[in-house]
Amino acid sequence: MECVPFSKVGGMADVVGSLPGALDGLGIESTLFTPYYPQIHRKEAGNEIASFDVWIAEKPHKVRLRRVADGAVLVDQPTAFDRPGVYDDPRSGEGFKDSLFRCVILQQAARIALRDGHLAADVVHCHDNHTGLLPVYLKDDGGPPSVYTIHNLAYQGIYGRGEFWVTGLHTDRFFGHSAFEFYGDLSLMKAGLSFADLVTTVSPGYAAEIVTPAHGHGLDGVLRNLGDRLVGILNGIDTGLWDPATDRALAATFSATRIAGRRQCTRALRERAGLKDDPSLPLCGMVSRVTHQKGLDIVGAILPWLMRRGAQLVLLGTGDPAILDLFRGATGRWPGQVALLEGYDEALSHQVYAGLDIFLMPSRFEPCGLSQMYAMRYGAVPVVTKMGGLKDTVLPFDDDHPDGVGVLADWATAESMQGAVDYALTLFGQPEKWKRIRKNAMQRDLSWAKSARAYADAYERVLRR
Ligand code: ADP
């Protein structure tokens, strides 16, 4: 339901938007298929390539498919998509009362477009619960094979059994324990897992975690049953879009070998955030959805200690009001030392990554995480919990591992995080070591190259089946 450059709530949008470019480099042609939200109308109407009705129960809903300049196909269905917000509530991902209707419109449109020849595909790649129905429709139609990617197992697309009719599928055939049913309700995530030809998730670490009861969100049994049909493929980042050497959003550009401009970025960030301009103070911060998952309350819990330790802190984020209140309170208690930049601001996020010394990401779970990768590329040393994709991307730095890129906390607890931040601050106080770790982080290969190859292998695998 989200994909850069058309819409974005979190990292999935970046991934879905940048994977096609990486696949293109391998000679794989792909077409993005995503809703036509109002923020796109202003920029681009595209060419209408098809129009048809999607029937839900007895009612037709007119859908127009619009192909835009970069080849993406957008689904224009005003009742479903002509409104602001992707999910309306980024915390649950399922905020709109008619969420299921919107998901069904998108996926029936894809199904009909493929079935009636408006679009052609050898393989269909679906992303997260909002597209978990499409593998079922394709199986039902004898359509192309599908790959289904779990970006975040916590958002499962659970709806009451009474809403099953919206899917247009036969209850007897599909609403069973081995299909949609999840404790009496219907789960779009489970549908995707059960009907796709191959399931991937966004890091090997997360793939290993979600088959355990502790991290499986109730679906660990279904995931274990997939066996080798569950594969972890680490996300990459768009290193063209995210390049501090050319980034026009920054006060000054810089790179791992021409670092001078970075100081200007740090100064500009302090000024923007209203923090005291003192380069000897380590500047810590986060760019994040403010949710329980991201553990920002843990940063809140160690804040008094962090302030005594002489650090500054800036948070760019939006979400849970209680956690935001905590940081708002802190800006009053420690003026010039703590700043809250509340809201969602893409350009500002680049400026924060480029200005921070230390990037904090104490996630309670993290399927992959892109923020820590952007932070590394922009020279902010990550301090993260040892979860999912964080442990796959942040190699720890210490005297035995001088090629490390960050610091890992064993647990998402205040005590563990405080220990990790303390170690990072100690390293910050040793300029030679600090330069080294920062350079390691900036030079780490975070590109799509290896992962795009892994997706190509996944597509070949389902084609052979
Ligand atoms: P998730 O997808 O769980 O939110 P990721 O780390 O994978 O976490 O991706 C988060 C993405 O959203 C990153 O691109 C990050 O820069 C961006 N982001 C999060 N909060 C904000 C914000 N307030 N303003 C701008 N960008 C943000």
275 and 223 within one domain: no
The reply to whether 247 falls in a domain is: no
429 and 460 within one domain: no
Q: Is the pLDDT of residue 315 over 70?
A: yes
C-alpha 284 to ligand 1 mean position (Å): 17
Q: Report which ligand 1 atom has the smallest distance to the Cα of 151.
A: 2
Q: Is the pLDDT of residue 390 over 60?
A: yes
Q: What's the average model confidence in pLDDT over 349-378?
A: 98
Q: What's the average model confidence in pLDDT over 442-454?
A: 95
Q: How far apart are CA 192 and CA 198, in angstroms?
A: 10
Q: Residue 308's domain spans which residues?
A: 261-443
3-state DSSP assignment of residue 137: helix
274 and 132 within one domain: no
3-state DSSP assignment of residue 440: helix
C-alpha 161 to ligand 1 mean position (Å): 33
C-alpha 431 to ligand 1 mean position (Å): 30
Q: Report which ligand 1 atom has the smallest distance to the Cα of 12.
A: 2
24 and 89 within one domain: yes
Range with the poorest average pLDDT among 174-183, 185-194, 412-421 = 174-183
Going across the sheet that includes 33-35, the strands are 33-35, 73-76, 59-67, 47-56
Nearest residue by C-alpha to atom 20 in ligand 1: 288
Predicted pLDDT at 279: 94
CA angle 37/38/40 to nearest 5° reads 75
C-alpha 114 to ligand 1 mean position (Å): 32
CB 449 within 8 A of CB 22: yes
84 and 216 within one domain: yes
The reply to whether 246 falls in a domain is: no
The reply to whether 147 falls in a domain is: yes
Q: Which residues is 408 bridged to in the sheet?
A: 384
CB 267 within 8 A of CB 369: no
Q: How confident is the model at residue 90 (pLDDT cuts 50, 70, 90)?
A: very low
361 and 415 within one domain: yes
C-alpha 417 to ligand 1 mean position (Å): 21
Q: How far apart are CA 130 and CA 156, in angstroms?
A: 8
C-alpha 169 to ligand 1 mean position (Å): 35
**Total count of domains within the chain:** 2
For a mutational test of ligand 1's pocket, the pick from 18, 287, 368, i.e. the residue with the most ligand atoms closer than 8 A to its C-beta, is 287
Q: Report which ligand 1 atom has the smallest distance to the Cα of 343.
A: 23
Q: Is the pLDDT of residue 2 over 60?
A: yes
Q: Is the pLDDT of residue 208 over 50?
A: yes
Q: What's the average model confidence in pLDDT over 230-252?
A: 97
318 and 371 within one domain: yes
Q: Report which ligand 1 atom has the smallest distance to the Cα of 353.
A: 16
C-alpha 272 to ligand 1 mean position (Å): 20
Q: Is the pLDDT of residue 444 over 50?
A: yes
C-alpha 13 to ligand 1 mean position (Å): 9
193 and 101 within one domain: yes
DSSP state, residue 402 = T
265 and 230 within one domain: no
Q: What's the average model confidence in pLDDT over 113-124?
A: 98
The reply to whether 399 falls in a domain is: yes
pTM of model > 0.85: yes
Q: Which residue has the higher pLDDT, 273 or 8?
A: 273
The reply to whether 2 falls in a domain is: no
Predicted pLDDT at 414: 98
Q: How confident is the model at residue 94 (pLDDT cuts 50, 70, 90)?
A: low
Which amino acid does the sequence have at 303? Answer: L
Q: How confident is the model at residue 92 (pLDDT cuts 50, 70, 90)?
A: very low
Q: What's the average model confidence in pLDDT over 120-144?
A: 97
Q: How far apart are CA 236 and CA 243, in angstroms?
A: 14
CB 134 within 8 A of CB 107: yes
Predicted pLDDT at 88: 65
456 and 434 within one domain: no
Q: How confident is the model at residue 294 (pLDDT cuts 50, 70, 90)?
A: very high
Q: Is the pLDDT of residue 435 over 50?
A: yes
Q: How many other β-carbons are positioned within 10 Å of the β-carbon of residue 373? A: 28
C-alpha 344 to ligand 1 mean position (Å): 9
The reply to whether 253 falls in a domain is: no
Q: Which residues is 62 bridged to in the sheet?
A: 53
Nearest residue by C-alpha to atom 22 in ligand 1: 344
Q: How confident is the model at residue 45 (pLDDT cuts 50, 70, 90)?
A: confident
409 and 277 within one domain: yes
Nearest residue by C-alpha to atom 9 in ligand 1: 11
C-alpha 288 to ligand 1 mean position (Å): 5
For strand 358-361 and strand 312-319, is the pairing parallel, antiparallel, or unpaired?
unpaired
Q: How far apart are CA 178 and CA 412, in angstroms?
A: 34
Tokens at residue 380, please? 């902010």
Q: Is the pLDDT of residue 439 over 50?
A: yes
Predicted pLDDT at 91: 43
Q: Report which ligand 1 atom has the smallest distance to the Cα of 293.
A: 3
CATH number of the structural domain spanning residue 406: 3.40.50.2000
Mean residue pLDDT across the chain: 95
455 and 428 within one domain: no
Q: Is the pLDDT of residue 95 over 70?
A: no
Ligand 1 pocket list (CB less than 6 A): 10-12, 14, 287-289, 316-318, 344-346, 349, 369-371, 374
348 burial type by CB count under 10 A (0-12 exposed, 13-18 middle, 19+ buried)? middle
Q: Which residue has the higher pLDDT, 92 or 273?
A: 273
The phi, psi pair for 456, rounded to 5°, reads: -60, -40
For a mutational test of ligand 1's pocket, the pick from 289, 384, 393, i.e. the residue with the most ligand atoms closer than 8 A to its C-beta, is 289
Range with the poorest average pLDDT among 22-36, 38-52, 217-231, 324-338 = 38-52
The reply to whether 194 falls in a domain is: yes
Q: Cα Rg for the chain, rounded, in angstroms?
A: 23
Q: Is the pLDDT of residue 300 over 80?
A: yes
Q: Is the pLDDT of residue 93 over 60?
A: no
Predicted pLDDT at 89: 54
Q: How far apart are CA 274 and CA 222, in angstroms?
A: 50
The reply to whether 251 falls in a domain is: no
3-state DSSP assignment of residue 87: coil
